[in-house]
Structure 1
Amino acid sequence: MRPAGDTAGTRAGHLAGIYPALMIGIFFLIPFALMLAVSVAHRVPDGFYEFAFEADNYRRIFEPVYLRTTLFSVGIAALVAAICIAIGFPFTYHLTRLPRRAQVLWLIFILAVLSLSEVLIAFCWQVLLSRTAGIGNVAVWLGLVERASSFYPSFGAVVLALVYLVLPYSVLVLYPPLSRLEPEIPEAARMLGASPLRTFFGTVVPVMRPAITAAAIMIFVFTIGAYLIPQVLGKPEHWTLSVLITDQAVFNANMPFAAALASFLMAITVVLVMAVLWLERRQEAA
C-alpha cells in the first residue's frame, strides 16, 4: 500500500504540471490553431474571409518574391545574431570580472535600454542617420567629409538598429553563466603559458558554448520577427517577411495569406532552431 504522503506528493506534482500546460495551451496552441485555420480560409471581398480548406495561400508563398524575402529574413537574423555574440560575449565576460558595484551599474543601464520600444529605437536611429540632424553633420564638423549625407534607407542602417535593439538581450542571457564561471579555469590556462587572447578563445569560449548557442538562438528568433526597423530604415529589398505579413494583414486586408506567411515563418524558425540544437548535441556527444 502506498503511503499517504507519497500519494499527496504525486497529486501535487500532477497539479503543478497542469498550470504550465494550461498556459501553453491558452497562449500558444489555441492562437496557433486559429492562425492555421485562417491560413486555409477562403478570402471574400471587402477584407473578410470564410472558413474553408484552400491551399492557394501556401502555394503563393513559393513565388520568387516571398522566397527571396524569406532567405533575406533568415540571413539578416543570423548576421545580427553573429554580431551580437561577437560584441556581447567579450563585453559580458569583462563585465563579470568587474567589482560588484560596477556590475550593478552596468546592468541597470542595460535594463534601461531594454525599456525602449522598437518604435522609439527605429525613429531615433532615423534621426541619427538623417542628413539634416544626424551623424553626417558631426562628420562634416570633424572635417571627415565635405557634405553631410543620409545613411538611410540602407542595409547597414537596418543591421545597426537591429543590433542596438537586441544586444542587451544577449548580455542578459550570457551574464548568469559567465558570472558562474570559475576564475580558476582561465587562471590555470594563463599559468600554463597561454596568452589572454588564447585563454579567452581556447578556454572560456568552449566552456560557454551552450550559453552562446542559447543566446544566438534567442537573438535569431527575436530578430526574425522584427518588422518596424526594416520598414523604417530599409528599402523595399531590405524588408523582412514580417513586414510583408503586416502589409498583407493591414493594408491589403488579406488575413488568410498573412496567416499562411506567418505559419511559414514560424515553421522555418522552428526547423532552423531544431537543426542548431541537433548539431550542438551532436558536437557535445562527439
Structure 2
Amino acid sequence: MAFYGADIEQLKHLSKSLAGGSEKLSGNAREIDALISKGSFWHGQDAKQFSADWHSRFRPLLEKASQGLADASKSALRNADEQEKGSGASGGGIGTAAAVGAAGPGLQGPGGGPTPEEILEKYQVSDAETTEWPGDWDPLRLVVDQRTVTEKEAELLNGLGPIELNDFKGIHDDAFSEADSRFPSSDRNDDHNDAFRHAYWNALMTREFGVDWAEDYATAHEQLPGNPGPREAMDLYNNEVGRNIAAAHPDASPEELADLVEEAVRNGDTVVVGGDLLPHPSNEIRPEQTGDAGNAPPADGHDPEFNDESRTTS
C-alpha cells in the first residue's frame, strides 16, 4: 500500500516549524532594535551608518522574511485542514492509502554499461567559483548555517521559497538517514551507502523540483574544488541513476523510490569505488572491499551545460 496526498500531521508540524522560524526572526529584529536604541557601546560615524542601514535596508528584509515564513505557516496549516476534511469525506481520495502495482526493476546505469575507465573519464566536471551561502547580510543566516557552495548552487537555492527550502533540507536529511538504514557504513564515502545516498537524493530532488533542477543542483555541487576524481565520477554517475529512476516512476512515493534505488544498488546499476580507485558496478564489489578515494587527485572535467529553465522553481 502506498500513501498519496499529504501527511496531515507532517503538514501541521511543518506549519509549527515555519511559525517558529517567523517568530525567531521577529525576535532577533527586536533584539537588534534594542541594542541600537541603547547606543552606549558604539559611537561615531560607522555606528550612525549602521543604524541607518539597519532601519532602511536590513530590518525590512528581516520583516519580509518573517512575514514569508508566517504566510507559509498559514498555507501549510490550511492545506492540512483541507486534507483532513477531504480524507474524511472520501474513501479513496487524496490523503488515503491506495493500492499500487510493483515499482518495477532497477534501471540500467547511464551510458549503457561503460567501463570503469570510461566512467572515470566521462563523469567529471570543472571546478567552479564558490561563495558563502546564505550571504553575510541574508536574513536566512539567522535560521540556516552558512556554508561554502558553488555560485550556481547559491543561485538555485536563492530561487527557492521558504517551504521549498524546508523541503530541500528534508530531502538531504532523508537521503542520509535512509542510506544509513539500508547500507550501514562507518565512513559513508565511496561505498554502497554513498551510492544509495546520492541516487536517492537525486530521485527525491527530481520528484520534488523536477529533473532539470535536480540535475543542475547535483552537478553544480560536484564542481566544488578539490573533489577527488574517482569520488566525483561515482557521485555524478549515481546522481544520474537516481534521476532516471524518478523520471521513470513519476508517481512513486519516497518509500517506493527508496526501494527502487536499493534494488539498483544491489543489482549493480550504481557504481562504487573499488580497491583500484575506479568506479565499478556496485554488485561486483563487496562493502568491505570498497576503496578509499579520499587522497586521489582531482581529474580534469568539462564545463557543464545547465538548464536555463531550472534557474528557479518559484
Greater gyration radius: 1
Please confirm whether the aligned pair reaches a TM-score higher than 0.5, indicating the same fold: no
What TM-score, normalized to structure 2?
A: 0.25
Q: Choose between structure 1 and 2 for higher RCO, CA contacts under 8 A separated by at least 6 residues.
A: 1
What TM-score, normalized to structure 1?
A: 0.27
